Structure 1
Amino acid sequence: MVLREEAFLERVQERGEYETRQEAERAARVILALLGAHLVGEVRAELAARLPETYALILLNPLAAAEPLSPQRFVRATAAWIDGATEETATWDVGAVLSVAADAAGDDLMNEILLQLPAGYDLLFGHPRST
């Protein structure tokens, strides 16, 4: 099931406790652009198919990544792209956006997504894995 843009942003806004829809939208754009640089092939296409079109296009046309970022570096990169963000606020932003994306993805696709990412991303998505 594809989330409508309004519902997607509403969930991000709620989880991120953002005062405005614009704050939720800014976080979603930055984080999905960074995430898109780390996913490839069918997995990226499947996740995009479950997101609203605006965000699917961002995921499919990502920022270029020279190398996979560790979860900590992903958060730092997010902080660098969002005006006024700190690592603490960026961690919150990442959790809000990626947890909504994880809900849209469902368990099977989430497992495939996590296989493409460095260890530790399960926590960013709010889907901790047992070791």
Structure 2
Amino acid sequence: MRLPWQTFLDQVGERGDYPTPHEAERAARTVLALLGAHLVGDVRAALAARLPETFAVVLLNPLQAAEPLSPERFVRATAAWIEGATEQTAAWDVSAVLSTVADAAGEELTSRMLLQLPPGYDVLFGRPHSV
């Protein structure tokens, strides 16, 4: 079931404690674009089917990654794409978005996503040791 746009954005905004919906949307777009470069096949398609349509398009048209990024490099890449971000604020952004994504995906799909990602992403998804 596709999560409604406003519900997804509200959850990201609440978890990220963003002052405006625009900031929550910017974080979501950046993190999902980076995540989309790391997921393939039916896992990426299944996740896209559960996200609001606008964010599904971002996930399905990802930024290009030459290699899988470790969780630390994923956070640094997020910081590089968000103007004025630091690694600390980017870690907050990643956690707010990916924990919302994990809730939208459900446990089974989240486990399948984590199998496609380098070790350590479980913490970013708010699911330590779920694989």
One-letter amino acid of the counterpart of residue 110, structure 1: T
Please give the TM-score of this superposition, normalised by the length of structure 1. 0.98
CA–CA distance in 2 between the matches of 1:54 and 1:26? 12
Q: Which amino acid aligns with 1:3?
A: L
In the alignment, which residue of structure 1 is the partner of 2:18?
A: 18
Q: List aligned pairs for 1:48-59, cutoff 5 A.
A: 48-59=48-59
**Other structure's SS at 1:55 match:** helix
Q: Distance in 1 between matches of 2:61 and 2:112?
A: 20
CA distance in 1, matches of 2:7, 2:130: 31
5+ residue gaps, structure 1, are none
Query: How many residue pairs were aligned?
Result: 131
Contact 2:122–2:130 (Cα < 8 Å) also in 1? no
- TM-score normalised according to structure 2 size: 0.98
Q: Give the letter aligned to residue 16 of structure 2.
A: G
Q: Give percent identity, aligned residues only.
A: 71
d(CA) in 1 for partners of 2:128 and 2:28? 21
Task: Determine the C-alpha separation between the residues in 1 that align with 2:130 and 2:24.
Answer: 30
Residue 78 (str. 1) matches residue 78 (str. 2): yes
1:23-79 per-residue CA deviation (whole Å, 9 max, x = no partner) reads 000000000000000000000000000000000000000011100000000000000
- State the match for 1:109 in structure 2: 109
Q: Distance in 1 between matches of 2:97 and 2:112?
A: 18
Q: 1:3 Cα shift?
A: 0.8
Q: Take 1:62 and 1:26, find their aligned partners in 2: how far apart are those partners?
A: 15
Q: Is the partner of 2:8 in helix, strand or coil?
A: helix
In the alignment, structure 2 segments of 5+ residues that lack a partner are none
Rounded Cα–Cα distance in structure 1 between residues aligned with 2:35 and 2:55? 11
* Stretches (4+) displaced over 2 A: none
Over 3 Å counting, the alpha-carbon distance change for 1:14 and 1:130 in structure 2 is closer
